[in-house]
Each structure stands twice: as C-alpha cells, then as structure tokens.
Amino acid sequence: MAAEQSTRPPIRWHIAVFLAPAVLIYTAIMILPLFNTLKLALYTDAQNAQVFIGLDNFRLLFGDERWSEQFWNALGNNVWFFIIHMLVQNPIGILLAALLSSPRLRMRAFYRTAIFIPTILSFVIAGFAWKLILSPLWGVAPNLLDFVGLKGLFQPWLGKEAYALTTLALISVWQFVGIPMMLIYAALLSIPDELLEAAECDGVTGMAQFWKIKLPLVLPAIGIISILTFVGNFNAFDLIYSTQGALAGPDFSTDILGTFLYRTFFGFQLQLGDPNLGAAIATAMFLIILIGVSIYLFGIQRRLRRYQF
Amino acid sequence: MNKARHSPVHSIAAHAILIAYTMIALFPVVVIVINAFKSRKAIFRAPLALPDKDSFSLIGFETVLQQGDFLLYFQNSLIVTVVSLFLVLLFGAMAAFALSEYRFRGNTLMGLYLALGIMIPIRLGTVAILQMMVASGLVNTRTALILVYTAQGLPLAIFILSEFMRQVSDDLKNAGRIDGLSEYRIFFRLVLPLVRPAMATVAVFTMIPIWNDLWFPLILAPAEETKTITLGAQVFIGQFVTNWNAVLAALSLAILPVLILYLIFSRQLIRGITSGAVK
C-alpha cells in the first residue's frame, strides 16, 4: 500500500481540513457536554464549589422519597407514553402505507402530502391546537361528538388525571404518524414486482399476501421506526410543556422524564434549580436510551432478516 | 391479472379510509386557521363555519402584531435556522467527503464516532451545554443556538451524504485529478453539484426540528431579543390564554410560513424519505 511505495506520499492535509470543522463542533458542543453532564451527576454544589460525592445524587433520586416518587412516576408515564405510540402509531402507519402503495391509487400524492402536514408543525402548535379543540369552553369536540350521537362520552380529557397522559400520547401520535407511514411506504415500494407476481402465481393474494409476503419484508423498517420512536419518546418535552406547563398537571399525571429534568435542572416557581441533580436525571435518561438502542442493535436488528433484491 | 388487487370495492374502501384519515390530520389545522379570521362571538357560536361577511374579523391579528414582537421572533428563527442549516450542509458535506473518498487510518472509527449523535439526543447534554454557554458569555445570543443546532444536525447529515457521495463516479474525480485540480476543487466543483438532490433532502430534515425546537430557545436564549418564533408563540399564548382571537391568530401565524414552505418542498422531502432513509 502507500507505505511500500518508494516515495512515501506526504501527509494528506486536505483530509484533516475536510474533517476538522464538523469534528470540532460536534465534539465541543455535543460529545464533551454529554460526558461533562455524566460527570456533573457525580458532583454537588457546596458554597459555589463542585464537590465530588460519588453516586449520592442517584441515591437521592432513587432512594429519597421526595425525588424517587417523582422519578418513578415520570418513568412510568414515559413507558406508557411509548406503549401508546407503539400500539397506535405503528398499526395506523402500516395501514396507511399499505393503502397508499396499492397499485393504481388515484390522488396518492395528495394523501401523502396532507397526512404528513401535522409532522412538520411544532409541538407548540399541535399541542395548543388540540388543547383548544378539546377545551370544554369552546365546545368543538363536544359538538362533534354530538354530531355522531356520542356527546355523553365527552370529558375534559386534558384536565382529568386518568385521561390526560393518554390524550397527550394520542396527540403526539396524530402528529407523528406521517413518519412511520412514509418509511413503511418506501419499504413497500422497494419490494420487487416479480416477487408479488410469483406470490400471485402461487395463489397468495390480497390479505394473505400482505401478511405473508409484504409484512415480513418491511419488518426492518418497522424496527427502525420503533427505535426512533423510543429515542424520541424518552427525551420528549415540548408537547407536555406547551400544553400542561412545567408542572405537567393535573397533579403530575403527565410528567415524563423530559419535564422532570427541566423542573429539576432549571427550577420552577419556588423550587431552585439543581444542575447536578438535573445531570443525574439526564444520565438516567442517557442509560435508558443506551439500553434501548443496544437492545435494538444487538438483539433485534440482527435477527431481522434483510433481503437483497 | 388478479382481481382482488384491483377490484372497485377495494379501491373505494381504500379511498374512504385515506380520506377519513386525511380529515383527522387536517381538521385541527383547518379549525384553527378559519377561526383566526372570525370575531369572538362567531368563534364560539359556530366554530366549524367558514368566516363570512358578518363574522369576518382581523382583531386577533391586530392584537398579535401590537402586543407581540412577532416580526423580531420570526427574524430570529430565520437567522438561526438558515445559518445552522448552511453550516450543517457545508461542514457535513466536507466530512462526508473525507469519510467516503479517502482511505485513512481510523476512517471507520471516525464514521462510527460521528454517527453516535444520530441515536443519542443532544438534549441530554443540556446541563453542561448551559454551563459552557454561561462561561463563554453566549447565553441569550443567537450564536449559542446556531452552535447547538449545527452540532445536532451534523451526524445525520454526514451519514446520509456519505452514502450518496460513495455513488459519485471515481473516474470523474480521477479525471479531475489528472487535469490538476486540487482536492478542494474536486470537492467544491465536481462532487458538490452532483449530490445537490441529497443536500436538499438533508436540508429539509435538518430544518424542521431546528425551526420547531422549544427546548434550547427556552434554556439558552429566552431573552426578548433572541426569542425564536416557536418560543415566542408559546410565551404569547401563555399570556393571552383568555384572548381567543389573539391565540388563534398567533397559532395561524406560526402555522402558515411552515405550511407554505412545506407545500413548496414536499416533493423533495417525500422523495428524500422514500429513497434514502431506509437503508
């Protein structure tokens, strides 16, 4: 190779020049702060000096009643938030993608564009739009339910402890269903026609064709969507903050790790912010996401068979 | 060929489901926008009606323009988004070129290192980022946001762009080398123009989360002069909760620019997702 040549080529500075800006910014603004945050979790602030206290912040977080109750509540809510996404978002996404990819469908581009619109809006807009629509003051939602004869079902969903979190998860699903739809749609389009024709020759058509041929082939896409959803859900914040505020009401029933981190780190109302404890929560979130991503990369992705066409 | 796949019953059912879901997707947006143009009475009397001669009113927009500094917020968002986008595309393409074009020691490792950020959200480093910005005096500046968003956008940009740059023909680059072009010229003159479609895709993917972000503006730049439109709308709506006209108008003002941009670029975005994203 290069070293064996008689005249050794000079150092290729241009490689360094090409890489340097990206690597520097990425390292300085993303990687170092991430590690510093992990480090800060092991310190505490005593008279304006950082003192090393080992795992005491985590003991406080998991052991002390004031904090651990909030932490487990937020984690539990977060898990429920994720479960709703997986149970509602993925099936709807698969259904829409399957319909969109059916041959000779008219107005395909219109449906695709329209269904993707909520995804481009910010959480603030999506959150407030639904907050207004579900508001008992305005009455859009009760009127609509009245229209289909179900007015009795109406509840101020965002204000009731029992329903608020599920409602918010569904709003988030409403917003993001476009992503699974698009990715699965792309995966379905990449299935070669010969394969489907062969299936038809063997008498596998319609629903059976979908379950036996298409679905197994788009499983890798569903895997990617699941892990994207997982990472997105476990650092979600904006939607809850903009609809329910930093206190994630009613009575912390919609508190997830993101809002808990914000309150602890930044403080709210009378409570002072504690950066070190905030760092400990961020570390916990980091570990949760790391575990999720590892399970996906080493446990799930390897088992999914990929087909090369 | 096969009847089940093309029967009219199936196609009607498919359209019915798709139309139903399209209505669910668009309904909230439509309700917000049409009510923003109505008087307060009409908003409550008939929320689903279109504004007509009697109910038409721009009072909400007037309040918003008088009370909130939306022009400034909009300008802040625009500057932050455009500058970060430019830096992500430029630095991302340069790094992607280095990774895909040259064989050097640590190439794979560097690729993996840069890809870490795709899965690990930058938000988890917020505590240390804020400390760093405080120490360097960048709190409440647009620079802080630009730096953070550049770092946030780079991993995915490098990942997608290097996939595309591998497809650029080697013959072309070698012909350039024989003609005496420097490596920089080969990158800027030959390779960049060829990966323009991929750049557009990356641009859309990078832009949307930056424009819509609430977390970093809230923590790093909450001052009045540096508020982005997302944070500005959030704060404004929080203050004017009971003024329905103003709230609806503010929401519409936040929706419309994104919607217009999306309708212009939607083909690009959808082509990008359907071609490169599933690997």
DSSP string, B26-78: HHHHHHHHHHHTB-HHHHHH-TTSPP-TTTB--HHHHHHHHHS-HHHHHHHHH
pLDDT recorded at residue A305? 66
Q: Is A273 part of the contact surface with chain B (CB cutoff 8 Å)?
A: no
State the number of CA atoms in the 13 A half-sphere of B258 facing the CB.
28
Residues in A touching B95 (Cβ below 8 Å): 18-19, 21-23
Determine which of B10, B81, B84, B124 to mutate to test the interface with A (most A C-beta atoms within 10 Å): B124
Q: Is B103 exposed, middle or buried (0-12, 13-18, 19+ CB in 10 A)?
A: exposed
pLDDT tens per residue, range A11-37: 788 999 999 999 999 999 999 999 999
Interface check for B83 against chain A (CB to CB < 8 A): the answer is no
Nearest one of B156, B241, B142 to B199, comparing CA atoms: B156
Q: Exposure of B2 by Cβ count < 10 A (0-12 exposed, 13-18 middle, 19+ buried)?
A: middle
Inter-chain CB proximity A95 and B17 less than 8 Å = yes
State in Å, rounded, how far the first CA of chain B is from the last one: 32
pLDDT for residue B240: 82
User: Which residues of chain A make contact with B233, given a CB cutoff of 8 A?
Assistant: 124-125
Contacts of B240 (CB under 8 A, 6+ apart): B63, B67, B246, B247, B250
Q: Identify whether residues B88 and B70 lie together within a single domain.
A: yes
pLDDT band for position A7 (50/70/90)? low
User: Nearest-CA neighbor of B120 among A280, A295, A300, A234?
Assistant: A234
Strand-pair category, A43-46 with A49-52? antiparallel
Distance of CA B142 to the CA centre of its chain: 17
CA distance A163 to A249: 11
Q: Where are the alpha helices (DSSP H) in chain A?
A: 13-26, 32-40, 56-63, 65-84, 90-100, 108-120, 123-134, 140-147, 161-176, 178-189, 193-201, 206-209, 215-234, 238-244, 257-266, 275-294
| pLDDT at residue number A183 | 86
Q: Does A153 touch chain B (CB under 8 A)?
A: no
CB contact under 8 A, A183 and B273: yes
B48 plus B185 within the same structural domain: no
SS3 of A33-45: the string is: HHHHHHHHCCEEE
Q: Decide if B110 and A125 are in contact by the 8 Å CB cutoff.
A: no
pLDDT of the residue at A186: 85
Of residues A96, A133, A185, nearest to B274 (C-beta): A185
Residue A268 near residue A23, CB atoms below 8 Å: no
In this structure, are residues B142 and A51 in contact, taking their beta carbons and an 8 Å threshold?
A: no
Radius of gyration, alpha carbons of chain B: 24
ipTM tops 0.90: no
Q: What is the dihedral of CA A52, A54, A57, A59, to 10 degrees?
A: -150
What mean pLDDT comes out for the span A193-218? 85
- Shared-domain flag, residues B151 and B256: yes
B24 and B67 within one domain: no
- Residue A209 tokens read as 């064709």
Q: What is the pLDDT of residue A83?
A: 96
Core vs surface per residue B126-147: b (16+ CB within 10 A) or e: bbbbbbbbeeeebbbbbbbbbb
Regarding whether B255 and B142 lie in a shared domain, the answer is: yes
Return the structure tokens found at B109: 């490792």
Q: In the listed set B42, B57, B72, which residue is the last one of a domain according to the structure? A: B57
**Average pLDDT score over residue span A270-276:** 81
Q: What pLDDT does A309 receive?
A: 57
Cβ contact B191:A14 at 8 Å: no
Residue from B206, B261, B174, B213 nearest B91 by CA: B206
Q: Closest partner residue to B183 among A14, A261, A265, by Cβ?
A: A14
pLDDT 10s per residue in chain B (279 long)? Answer: 444 455 778 788 889 999 999 999 998 898 888 888 888 888 887 777 788 887 888 888 888 888 778 889 989 999 999 999 999 999 999 999 999 999 888 899 999 999 888 889 999 999 999 999 999 999 999 999 999 999 999 999 999 899 888 888 889 999 999 999 999 999 999 999 988 888 888 887 788 889 889 999 999 999 989 999 889 888 888 888 778 888 888 888 888 888 888 888 777 777 776 665 444
CA dihedral (B227, B142, B155, A225) in degrees, to 10, reads 0
> With pLDDT > 70 as the criterion, what percentage of chain A qualifies?
95
Query: Based on the domain organization, do B213 and B233 belong to the same domain?
Result: yes
d(CA B241, CA A113): 32
Listed as own residue / partner, the contacts of B248-251 with beta carbons closer than 8 Å and 24 or more positions apart are B248/A132, B248/B32, B248/B35, B248/B36, B248/B43, B248/B60, B249/B36, B249/B58, B249/B60, B249/B61, B249/B63, B249/B64, B250/B60, B250/B64, B250/B68, B250/B70, B251/A125, B251/A128, B251/A129, B251/B32, B251/B36
Total CB pairs under 8 A between chain A and B: 269
What CATH number is associated with residue B141?
1.10.3720.10
Residue for token pair 């998991």: A62
Q: Is A242's CB within 8 Å of B214's CB? A: yes
Give the per-residue pLDDT at A286.
Answer: 93
The total of structural domains in chain B comes to 2
Chain-chain contact of B98 with A19 (C-beta, under 8 angstroms): yes
The pLDDT tens digits of the residues spanning A165-182 come to: 999 999 999 999 988 998
| 8 A C-beta contact, residue A228 and residue A179 | yes
Tell me whether residues A26 and B278 touch, CB distance under 8 A.
Answer: no
Set of chain B residues whose Cβ sits within 8 Å of the Cβ of A26: 114, 117, 151, 154-155
Work out the widest C-alpha separation in chain A, in whole angstroms.
87
Query: Is residue B177 domain-shared with residue B215, that is, in the same domain?
Result: yes
Residues 171-200 of B with CB under 8 A from A: 182-184, 187
In a shared domain, residues B206 and B264: yes
B4: chain A residues, CB-CB within 8 Å: 205-206
Q: Of B23, B40, B57, which closes a domain? A: B57
Q: Does A114 touch chain B (CB under 8 A)?
A: yes
- Amino acid at residue number B67: Q
What are the backbone dihedrals phi and psi of residue B199, each rounded to the nearest 5 degrees, phi first?
-60, -40
- Report the residue of chain A nearest B213, measured CA to CA: A122
Residue A211 contacts B where some CB pair is shorter than 8 Å = no
Place of tokens 């010229």: B185
Nearest Cα to Cα of residue A140 among B47, B26, B24, B242: B47
Q: Domains of chain A (ranges plus CATH)? A: 14-52 (no CATH), 64-300 (1.10.3720.10)
- Residue A206 with chain B: CB contacts under 8 Å: 4-5
Pair B26, B131 in one domain: no
Same domain? For B262 and B129 the reply is: yes
pLDDT for position B276: 53
Tell me, what's the pLDDT at A307?
Answer: 63
**Per-residue pLDDT at B6:** 57
For A183, what's the count of Cα atoms within 13 Å in the CB-facing half-sphere? 22
Q: Which of A29, A143, A235 shows the shortest C-beta gap to B121?
A: A235
pLDDT for residue A227 is more than 70: yes
Kindly state the helix (H) or strand (E) to which residue B259 belongs, with its residue range.
Answer: helix B244-272
List the structure tokens of B108. 């794979």
Interface of B with A in 84-113 (CB under 8 A): 87, 90-92, 94-95, 97-99, 102, 104, 110
Contact present, A225 and A184 (Cβ < 8 Å):
yes
Domain assignment of residue B13, given as a range = 3-57
Count the Cβ atoms, other than its own, within 10 Å of residue A281: 29
* Per-residue DSSP letter, A271: B
Domain boundary among the residues B36, B57, B78 is at B57
Query: Same domain for B117 and B34?
Result: no
Q: Which residue has the tokens 């972000």?
A: B213
Q: What pLDDT score does A2 carry?
A: 46
Q: Are residues B48 and B124 in the same domain?
A: no
Q: Rounded to a whole number, what is the distance in Å from the CA of A198 to chain B's nearest CA?
A: 12
Given CB atoms, is B23 within the 8 Å cutoff of chain A? no
Mean per-residue pLDDT for A54-73? 86
Q: How far is A82 from chain B (nearest CA, A)?
A: 16
Cα–Cα distance for residue pair A267/A143, rounded to 1 Å: 40
Q: Which of A118, A264, A61 is nearest to B219 (CA)?
A: A264
Nearest to A186 among B4, B234, B274 (CB): B274
**Rounded average pLDDT over A62-87:** 91
